[in-house]
Structure 1
């Protein structure tokens, strides 16, 4: 159950850094502050320039603070799914106390037992998610504290990621003058927050179409079973338009927003609009159908790569179908094209919060919502990773006061230099253990 208090979410994306301040009253989320700053230093979802990323975080945080009227001290930060690995884990201990009543310490110990594994030096354990406990053979227990038992087992999931990505995210947040309250795996938060209980149970695919990458996630049996990252996103569409029409990146982005459609059958070859061409003094006329065909080519490629990995695990057989979200998913015609390629039910998820009814804010809202609903049992299991002796309660904001920054003063906005997206880039695919390959059998 969500707690009462304030929570802050931070989403460091390729095209923008977003911050949301939410106040929970009786488990009801009320968003009271939003910040959105253009990203610099992020390439295809990965931090490549710490200084520029810090400046973008500070700009977004400053906006959110001004609107919420508070000073942000700590944040819950989204961790992308790049090279994320999901594995099942199991631990078993004997209950320590003489009375055999299960305590917080027992939960920590059984989580520690579940984490006994060999982790490559370039990777680290990011999170452990308890699924259920078994006490003396009695299964399906969510919180065993206070129960009597001799032997306790814990079954859960362990998430591991590259040390480089985790370190760079923490470094940027800390240099921005903030504390990381929770490092949230973005696809986990997304699937937990936007799916209904039935969709989580029976199985649903969530495709998050960001600016620099597209993340495909599978939730089944109320667990995140699979993630895959394709290093193509909405900016690749813009770059394609820029190259094909020989126009600037900014003009291409405006064309995509104002006239773009990913489904050519919905457009007209007779409807034309002017385009400023580099090297020509006068604009030329381009028709809607031609622009749509350029957009369709890239979006179709993105979807077919997702379909390829989903076919390997029979993911498209799940009854929940496909749910699209993310900034690139809001382009007209994307749902129709996805329906045609995946040949299953496809729908677009749009947040239902005043002023934030745009898929571009789905991730950051999900990060806040997921963090607010984390249980004490989760936090106890987490201490097996952090080594903390007590559960740290989140204090994300302080009393209203004037906000000052001592590091990284505001710098002049620089033109965003997009990568060479005309090449498709490399697919980054998470490890699929035999356990997850057979989850749909």
Structure 2
């Protein structure tokens, strides 16, 4: 990788579209630009209006471009949702070099072998994540390059998704005038930013609570072993406030962001606000305690559903803790309610970069870290300049996205 590469991530959420520009200099990541826009064409994490989604993507990209005077031409896109599935597979090849030294070509071939799996016609591979390599039966190898052997194996996790959802996502990004460098499972990216090596090894649930949905990613023995999406999130809290205080939804969202508290015991009676109620021109005053009495039951329900889903997936007794991320966990008192409902150790993960110290940016920052780490392993210039200084020149033509997806395994090892 060159000494100064630009990586751009795109996180299309239910409430916000976020673009993050990261600069990788001598192995260190600096966040140099951030852009966000309201999501108009997304419902519960799924694209329901192509044109509105394209408009939101363009708005977020332009916001990020203005911040650092950079023209974005290529981007890494995050994907998540209940259509995502994981399955394990095994690949085996004979080492082709005469001197029996394992090289990049051998690794490419064994990954291709692991990618050969029977899939229904409506599904396709998004990512292939190696769990470990084996050289002549020796297990636990993370990078076999340069080792001597005659038989190379890989145990990998294949991430698949619904073709319809993936192709709609691709269509939105390309209609916004961007080339897609790669599609990354958000849970993998968030796990890189949010979890320590020990947390991944011991058994941890990474919970991303967004506006329209909640995504669970269970990590065990160092890798992602299960993922699931629940159709609940911060929008439900906003709707409860709207009904409870009898006010408009946009007003309820503003009140939630400014005065919201997830726990009644953590709320303050002297924090007061006035709102105009539906069907009236007269403002009525409420306290933060009143608001917390509306919010806490919904937040408790969300964490109850999270715990039940972990049990349903068969990891109830194996989980050592929970790590929370996503915009909704920013609300004061969230940790208190989570600890009560999950009955486990819980913490909130916050990106440690200036300008993005907010759990809502966890996935976007994680994508930049994921790309940076997994591209430098190959040391072949795989991380290209994702943006170019504004010069007025057109971006060069790129190969089709479908062709790139067919060979994406080579980008993520």
TM-score (norm. length: structure 1)? 0.84
In structure 1, runs of 5+ residues without a counterpart are 380-389, 406-441
- CA drift of 1:96 comes to 3.0
- CA drift of 1:206 comes to 1.2
Distance 1:403 1:265, change over 3 A: farther
- Bigger drift between 5-14 and 97-106 goes to 97-106
Q: Does the Cα contact within 8 Å between 2:205 and 2:319 map onto a contact in 1? A: no
**Corresponding residue of 1:6:** 6
Structure 1's consecutive aligned runs of 4 or more residues displaced over 6 angstroms after TM superposition are 376-379
TM-score (norm. length: structure 2)? 0.89
**Corresponding residue of 1:188:** 188
**Corresponding residue of 1:39:** 39
Q: Does the Cα contact within 8 Å between 1:81 and 1:185 map onto a contact in 2? A: no
Q: Does the Cα contact within 8 Å between 1:122 and 1:162 map onto a contact in 2? A: yes
**Corresponding residue of 1:127:** 127
Match of 1:395 among 385, 396, 399: 385
**Corresponding residue of 2:338:** 338
Give the distance between the partners of 1:267 and 1:97, measured in 2 at CA. Answer: 67
Give the distance between the partners of 1:378 and 1:333, measured in 2 at CA. Answer: 44
In structure 2, runs of 5+ residues without a counterpart are 396-413
Distance 1:39 1:313, change over 3 A: closer
Give the distance between the partners of 1:231 and 1:329, measured in 2 at CA. Answer: 16
Give the distance between the partners of 1:141 and 1:254, measured in 2 at CA. Answer: 51
Distance 1:181 1:271, change over 3 A: closer
1:210 aligns with 2:210: yes
**Corresponding residue of 1:175:** 175
**Corresponding residue of 1:284:** 284
Give the distance between the partners of 1:323 and 1:147, measured in 2 at CA. Answer: 37
- CA drift of 1:95 comes to 2.5
- CA drift of 1:174 comes to 1.0
**Corresponding residue of 1:57:** 57
Q: Does the Cα contact within 8 Å between 1:71 and 1:402 map onto a contact in 2? A: no
1:275 aligns with 2:275: yes
- CA drift of 1:280 comes to 1.3
Q: Supply the RMSD in Å over aligned alpha carbons.
A: 2.4
Q: Does the Cα contact within 8 Å between 2:44 and 2:213 map onto a contact in 1? A: yes
- Bigger drift between 78-87 and 160-169 goes to 78-87
Give the distance between the partners of 1:369 and 1:173, measured in 2 at CA. Answer: 21
String of CA shifts for 1:231-283, please: whole Å, max 9, x gaps. Answer: 11111111111122221111111221222111112335676532211111212
Q: Does the Cα contact within 8 Å between 1:214 and 1:229 map onto a contact in 2? A: yes
Q: Does the Cα contact within 8 Å between 2:10 and 2:18 map onto a contact in 1? A: yes
Alignment of 1:27-426 (within 5 A): 27-267=27-267, 272-313=272-313, 315-318=315-318, 320-375=320-375, 392-402=382-392
Distance 1:201 1:404, change over 3 A: same
- Bigger drift between 170-179 and 267-276 goes to 267-276
Give the distance between the partners of 1:210 and 1:374, measured in 2 at CA. Answer: 26
